[in-house]
Amino acid sequence: MKVSLEYKPRVKRATSGPLEAGIAQSLLRKTLIVVCAYNEAKALPTLLESLKGRNVLVVDDGSTDGTADLFRRYEATALTHSERQGKAASLQDAIQHALEAGYEIIVEIDADVIPEPSSLERLLDYLADPSVGAVSVRQIPVGPPNVAYHIDELIWATLSSGKRVQMSRDGSSHLGAAMTAFKPKYLVSVTGSVNDDEEIGQGLAAKGLRTVFADDLSVFFDASSSVGHIMERRKRMIVGHCAYPKSTAPSMEISVAGLAVFKAVLEAPRRVVWALPALFVECYSRLMAWRDIRRPLVREKYRRWVTTFEKNHITQASSPDTGTA
């Protein structure tokens, strides 16, 4: 059964009044911000500085670059793996910690992200609705305006457009994002998954909860530093999506993906220049992902979320003019 609701993308919310601000502060006390990190010593300081005063947990997944030295400096709680176990294992440890400590909401943030000011409080507004189990936000990539950046920017704009299509159609959308918030008590486990966003989204949907897209909230994050990094990331995501009989990702539904690309190009016509390169990257990544799915030993490596390419490590929330920020 489809949900009927009024959905108005890109409408900025009014500043919270005293009552709403009090509610937001109450929810924040029950919220744990989780950062799963592997060799993020360069990126983490910017994020942790912006999160001072919050309840923050960093899961260090076997880092070798001094990531662990940052925890005390920024007063963050830490869980440390002696060797790399993967994103899903790190997130599962964080979920267990949150439940044992009595937290009701987890906000999962990638280490290379800079949230908009007041975005955490506004994000929690969505979760006050008992029918909502999780919420994701718009992602704006930041980086030098090279080929990799422009392809990446179109891919992420397409994801946002696809989520808008899903919200208008179903009242729910794919969860994948660089910052998401969810209610952990409704989840069984994410251990062993390649794509934790898909696992969380489908787990919440099985409990009858919606996963919504907060189009009025944004985070800035590192764009891929090379076309190779984009392909590596897309391969991992596709392998994760293919683990389910029906993926929720817009890119895995042809009609939604086509409409999303069309809408993304309409928003910023100069993106049309990068449509063909982006299509090539997507097709090649899918072929490689489908190959790896059929190779058990290779597929197992995806659980550790191995990253070959280093990103740029943004230091401020600014990005090239794309016409969407």
| DSSP letter string, 150-168 | HHHHHHHHHHHHHHHHHHH
Indicate the length of the chain as a whole number: 325
- Which of 319, 165, 218 minimizes the C-alpha distance to 12? 218
CA 98 to chain centre: 19
What are 247-302's pLDDT values in tens digits? 999 999 999 999 999 999 999 999 999 999 999 999 999 999 999 988 888 877 87
Amino acid in position 199: E
Q: Are 53 and 31 in contact (CB under 8 A)?
A: no
Of the ranges 9-18, 117-126, 178-187, the best mean pLDDT one: 178-187
Amino acid in position 9: P
Residue 19 in tokens: 């009552």
Domains of the chain in start order, with CATH, are 18-304 (3.90.550.10)
State the average pLDDT over residues 113-128.
86
The span from the first CA to the last CA of the chain, in angstroms, equals: 34
Strand 179-182 to strand 77-81: parallel, antiparallel, or no bridges (unpaired)? unpaired
> Residue 250 — φ and ψ, nearest 5°?
-55, -35
Q: Are 33 and 54 in contact (CB under 8 A)?
A: yes
- Residue in the structure block whose two tokens are 């999506």: 241
pTM (two decimals): 0.85
118 torsion bin: left (phi>0), alpha (psi -120 to 50), beta (else): left
Amino acid in position 141: P
Averaged confidence pLDDT in the chain: 84
What are 149-208's pLDDT values in tens digits? 999 999 999 999 999 999 999 999 999 888 999 999 999 888 878 888 999 999 999 999
State the average pLDDT over residues 102-112.
93
Residues in contact with 141: Cβ distance below 8 Å, sequence separation at least 6, in sequence order: 149, 152, 153, 156, 220, 221, 222, 223, 224, 319
| DSSP letter string, 225-250 | SSHHHHHHHHHHHHHHHTTSSS---G
Half-sphere CA count of 127, side-chain side, radius 13 A: 27
Q: Which residues of 225-241 are buried (b: 16+ CB within 10 A; e: fewer)?
A: bbbebbbbbbbbbbbbb
